[in-house]
Chain A
């Protein structure tokens, strides 16, 4: 690191190189945080997580009993051990709350005064984050599995909503009405996401095991259909349908550069696609358990090279090198099905939510700052924690001589 710093000072490297190197180092070495916790509010499984993109500070989380929480992830006081407080909650007493499970929570990309939630009570709600009241509600005919807003289209406020019905609805928040419905899937659509490169491009994954790319300006239908065989094998010739997976597609994720798309299906496979041409990249990630029946939130690292994907599988989170397909580590900490993970690009931290009601924070272990700080303070009274911890991790074999 010192070497890199030096080179940057001298000017042989671009400033970005240091940043990339450092963030990669951190992103690769995630481990469960021993010092940070979020305040426990949820009494049911966490289904969805999101951090606002304006301040990168507020963690929004929705749970299976309809409760939505906002945690402030900023650690203002200098205490190394902290519990992030919950700043606002839409609890049971809130009369606007979701009646059933919340499936998706999303901040409005340009302002953290508003967020959108949707759930199995078939309603999409637009919330005023400050007063915790709904500004608008949209009811649908089926369970709303996911919704997304484009972070690029600042002039428009289109929300793509995927529901139990096979259509994808586009809702314009400005007019408060549904403007489009995208027809193409034959079964429930589990996941939609706007491209992070082009404000008109939308990808959707469905229970009919297809992944469709849409251009919302185009009226006639989908842009193209992703084919896992790239049209090469004859095995699909009989069905005549190009499928992205052999099972339901319940997770879909554009990489931050918007050039690639990751899809995850119940056939226990993770696929990487070229988002512009719709070609399967044929990266083999191996078998990854996916028994979830709801939409799963994948996450990918931002600003590190090579990029990493965080894939929830059962009670663990697998970390993959996206382009080589190698599994770099397994994050173990949850006890039941992990539903969502969110990578905080600025801090290189991962937040994950699971059915065991925990929101876990995964922090880089290269970060020895706290340890050092603790060591400095080891003479103080607060050192008790540290000494006891180091003692606890030591081996304790009895010293009998045989």
Chain B
């Protein structure tokens, strides 16, 4: 034991306090190297006695455990400084060496080094460097040190000679990550393989169906009884109005034309009615196959269309998706090939089907539509007529309507039915405009118009002087709805008719509970006056100084919602007028007072004591305390973390869970509501 240890074993509280401060200052400096002045101070304190060394050891270990790589780095530098100087420190550190190592080396994959990353990396390299140095210097004397060194080298695979950044733990972590991804991929692959198998069956059956459809629609040339290729039919007419010309055959015809005619040919030609070879036979081959739709093949065509839709909407997209998954997750060649083959065959079939031109059955369609219209019209007739109105509809009118309907559907250039009817018959028809006008004319005849705002007393001939005067004063206004309803309490109120949508309940009683539309009534009695003054554009800004040093840019007419009345201000935003200055100062003072009242800590404490609720705002002192350190919370503000906080938010989770629960519940209710044991089960 050293001599100074025995000198003073007593701890000077002041010195130990000083030591604590120094350690704190050094470790919170955030520097990559030790501050020479501070470290000198630290050394002098530790040099005094082993008591202080022990204290320093505990302080440093406490700092080393903090989750900040910069703090740990500075602490490690302090450790190194003391380790190379004090035997006492060495013994203390080596006793806890197994705890010390994972704090500055990335050897425990469940205990990674804290952020920020560059500092953590530097910490690791420094730690390795120091360990090597310590081992070289003290390995012989301290067994545990050499054991630890060997442990790191053999068990944790730390290469001291050429230290790499990627340690074993890091590799382990990465391997774990990779394994996870692999597992996910495998699962995807399995699922898509299963899906693909289903799809394959579906697609195959679909293909078979299409094939059989084709064979029904377009007869195979081989199924025909062909006399001979050398004696082709010029045009072959298939069954059921299907016409098909094979390209091959037409070529063979042309060849025949070119080739030198033999006797046999002549004979054969003669059979076909062509005695000479001077016929120029031109055959136009249509681009696609045209099929006429008829009663025989309409079902087949529908099936074809259905299967095409199935291929296009379902099978091809899911196949491409499956292929994507296969290529991404590395499926075996066989299934990829199968998928590709299937895709190709599907595409070719699709192409084949789309290349067929189907001539729709036009006439039949039209007759059908007409029939439909007829039935529609019949439906109209069944509707019970409105009371008192359509009591007498002439028969011919019905017919015109019918015609009109059919016309509109049948032809594109339809027109309104000509008014081939005489006026009299129309007047009795309430659906035309004529009777309405007639009725209005009659009412106008009966009573004098009440529409004018100032009803002219046409009966009095003598002008009233008082009235004349008043009239001169009275404003002249353009006629409007308010004048129309002027002083008319009995005016027909705007009614809101209650519409009942019970269409199937046509015998329901007619409820007469129409309401007065208050809004419309108000509109009727109000006058809209347009603004006649000149619009003045706001050209000024608030320009009150803000906290960020800028001037307020708001352009309000009179009052800024943030800074009060807009007053003239100078370049830096100070009010120029004397009274404004005084007023603003007063307001500011009052606001400050108010805030102080509310923010009074004593008051808050009292409230807290009374209510037991935390009122005081928590102070963010950590950041303010160590301004030298890198802010870790900022680093953790990655997009993943932000998303994580959103997705795994407690409220969100609860919401989603409750939604899922209710869905489940509903499904159960739908399925098993008729079973008593489920029907009465609680949600």
Nearest CB on A from B19, distance (A): 16
Q: Does A233 contact B (CB under 8 A)?
A: no
Number of interface residues of A (CB under 8 A): 25
Q: Are A34 and B43 in contact (CB under 8 A)?
A: no
Which single member of A334, A336, A388, A397 contacts B47 (CB below 8 Å)?
A397
Q: Does B138 contact A (CB under 8 A)?
A: yes
Which residue in chain B gives the minimum CB-CB distance to A391? B141
Which residue in chain B gives the minimum CB-CB distance to A45? B155
Contacts of B150 in A (CB 8 A): 358
Which single member of A334, A390, A393, A395 contacts B85 (CB below 8 Å)?
A395
Which single member of A332, A336, A394 contacts B87 (CB below 8 Å)?
A394
Q: Are A32 and B43 in contact (CB under 8 A)?
A: no
A396 to B86, CA, bound (A): 6
Contacts of A34 in B (CB 8 A): 140-141, 143
Given A356-B155, A397-B47, are A389 and B141 also a contact pair (CB < 8 Å)?
Answer: yes
Q: Are B155 and A357 in contact (CB under 8 A)?
A: yes
* A-B contacts, CB under 8 A, total: 65
Contacts of A394 in B (CB 8 A): 87
A360 to B146, CA, bound (A): 12
Which single member of A315, A334, A356, A392 contacts B137 (CB below 8 Å)?
A392
Nearest CB on B from A41, distance (A): 12
A395 to B53, CA, bound (A): 12
A293 to B140, CA, bound (A): 35
A348 to B144, CA, bound (A): 21
Q: Does B147 contact A (CB under 8 A)?
A: yes
For window 356-387 of chain A, which residues contact chain B by CB distance below 8 Å? 356-358, 360, 385
Given A357-B155, A392-B138, A395-B2, are A33 and B143 also a contact pair (CB < 8 Å)?
Answer: yes
Q: Does B204 contact A (CB under 8 A)?
A: no
For window 117-150 of chain B, which residues contact chain A by CB distance below 8 Å? 137-138, 140-144, 147-148, 150
Q: Does A96 contact B (CB under 8 A)?
A: no
Contacts of B90 in A (CB 8 A): 393
Given A392-B137, A398-B43, are A333 and B147 also a contact pair (CB < 8 Å)?
Answer: yes
Q: Are B98 and A334 in contact (CB under 8 A)?
A: yes
Contacts of B155 in A (CB 8 A): 335, 356-357
A335 to B107, CA, bound (A): 12
Contacts of A360 in B (CB 8 A): 147
Nearest CB on B from A80, distance (A): 13
Nearest CB on B from A364, distance (A): 15
Contact-residue size bin, chain B (C-beta under 8 Å from the other chain) = 20 to 34
For window 336-370 of chain A, which residues contact chain B by CB distance below 8 Å? 336, 356-358, 360
Which single member of A33, A358, A395, A397 contacts B151 (CB below 8 Å)?
A358
Q: Are B98 and A395 in contact (CB under 8 A)?
A: no
Nearest CB on B from A185, distance (A): 33
Q: Are B151 and A333 in contact (CB under 8 A)?
A: no
Q: Are B47 and A333 in contact (CB under 8 A)?
A: no
B95, B140, B150: residue with the most chain A Cβ atoms closer than 10 Å: B140
Given A357-B155, A392-B137, are A402 and B44 also a contact pair (CB < 8 Å)?
Answer: yes
Which single member of B2, B101, B140 contacts A385 (CB below 8 Å)?
B140
Nearest CB on B from A236, distance (A): 37
Contacts of B154 in A (CB 8 A): 357
Nearest CB on B from A45, distance (A): 9
Q: Are A332 and B95 in contact (CB under 8 A)?
A: yes
Contacts of B147 in A (CB 8 A): 32, 333-335, 358, 360
Q: Type the 1/0 row for A3-18, where 1 means its CB is closer than 8 Å to any CB of B.
A: 0000000000000000
Contacts of A396 in B (CB 8 A): 84-85
Contacts of B151 in A (CB 8 A): 335, 356-358
Contacts of B101 in A (CB 8 A): 335
Q: Tell me the dominant secondary structure on chain B's binding face.
A: helix
Q: Does B40 contact A (CB under 8 A)?
A: yes
Nearest CB on A from B152, distance (A): 9
Given A393-B87, A396-B85, are A332 and B144 also a contact pair (CB < 8 Å)?
Answer: yes
Given A315-B98, A335-B151, A356-B151, are A395 and B86 also a contact pair (CB < 8 Å)?
Answer: yes
Which residue in chain A gives the minimum CB-CB distance to B89? A395
Contacts of A358 in B (CB 8 A): 147, 150-151
Q: Are B98 and A397 in contact (CB under 8 A)?
A: no
Q: Type the 1/0 row for B154-176, where 1 means its CB is closer than 8 Å to any CB of A.
A: 11000000000000000000000
Nearest CB on A from B234, distance (A): 85
Which single member of A333, A336, A398 contacts B143 (CB below 8 Å)?
A333
Contacts of B86 in A (CB 8 A): 395, 397
Contacts of A385 in B (CB 8 A): 140
Which residue in chain A gives the minimum CB-CB distance to B44? A402
Given A315-B98, A332-B95, A356-B155, are A393 and B2 also a contact pair (CB < 8 Å)?
Answer: no
Which residue in chain A gives the minimum CB-CB distance to B152? A335
Which residue in chain A gives the minimum CB-CB distance to B5? A395
Contacts of B94 in A (CB 8 A): 332
Q: Are A389 and B85 in contact (CB under 8 A)?
A: no
Contacts of B2 in A (CB 8 A): 395
A360 to B150, CA, bound (A): 13
A392 to B86, CA, bound (A): 10
A288 to B90, CA, bound (A): 26
Which single member of A336, A356, A402 contacts B40 (CB below 8 Å)?
A402
Nearest CB on A from B46, distance (A): 8
Contacts of A389 in B (CB 8 A): 140-141
Q: Type the 1/0 row for A238-250, where 1 means its CB is closer than 8 Å to any CB of B.
A: 0000000000000
A390 to B143, CA, bound (A): 13
A334 to B97, CA, bound (A): 9
Which residue in chain A gives the minimum CB-CB distance to B139? A392
A332 to B94, CA, bound (A): 9
Nearest CB on A from B660, distance (A): 38
Contacts of A315 in B (CB 8 A): 98
Nearest CB on B from A254, distance (A): 31
Contacts of B98 in A (CB 8 A): 315, 334-336
A343 to B426, CA, bound (A): 126
For window 242-277 of chain A, which residues contact chain B by CB distance below 8 Å? none
Which single member of A333, A392, A397, A402 contacts B140 (CB below 8 Å)?
A392
Contacts of B141 in A (CB 8 A): 34, 388-390, 392-393
Which residue in chain A gives the minimum CB-CB distance to B138? A392
A397 to B46, CA, bound (A): 10
Contacts of B40 in A (CB 8 A): 402
Given A335-B98, A335-B148, A358-B151, are A32 and B44 also a contact pair (CB < 8 Å)?
Answer: no
A358 to B150, CA, bound (A): 10
Contacts of A398 in B (CB 8 A): 43, 85
Given A335-B148, A357-B154, are A397 and B143 also a contact pair (CB < 8 Å)?
Answer: no
Nearest CB on B from A399, distance (A): 10
Q: Are B85 and A397 in contact (CB under 8 A)?
A: yes
Which single member of B44, B87, B143 contacts A395 (CB below 8 Å)?
B87
Nearest CB on A from B605, distance (A): 41
Contacts of B148 in A (CB 8 A): 335
Which residue in chain A gives the minimum CB-CB distance to B95? A332
Which residue in chain B gives the minimum CB-CB distance to A333? B144
Contacts of A356 in B (CB 8 A): 151, 155
A385 to B141, CA, bound (A): 9
Q: Are A32 and B144 in contact (CB under 8 A)?
A: yes
Which residue in chain A gives the minimum CB-CB distance to B47? A397
A212 to B129, CA, bound (A): 54
Which residue in chain B gives the minimum CB-CB distance to A35? B143
A315 to B96, CA, bound (A): 10
A296 to B141, CA, bound (A): 31
Contacts of A32 in B (CB 8 A): 143-144, 147
Tell me the A residues contacting B by CB distance below 8 Å.
32-34, 315, 332-336, 356-358, 360, 385, 388-390, 392-398, 402
Sample of 19 A–B contacts (CB below 8 Å): A32-B147, A34-B140, A333-B147, A334-B147, A335-B147, A357-B155, A358-B147, A358-B151, A388-B140, A388-B141, A393-B87, A395-B88, A396-B84, A396-B85, A397-B43, A397-B86, A398-B43, A398-B85, A402-B44
Closest 4 CB pairs of A and B: A392-B141, A389-B141, A335-B98, A335-B151
Known: A34-B141, A335-B101, A392-B142; 6 extra A-B contacts, CB below 8 A, are A32-B143, A34-B140, A332-B94, A336-B98, A393-B141, A395-B86
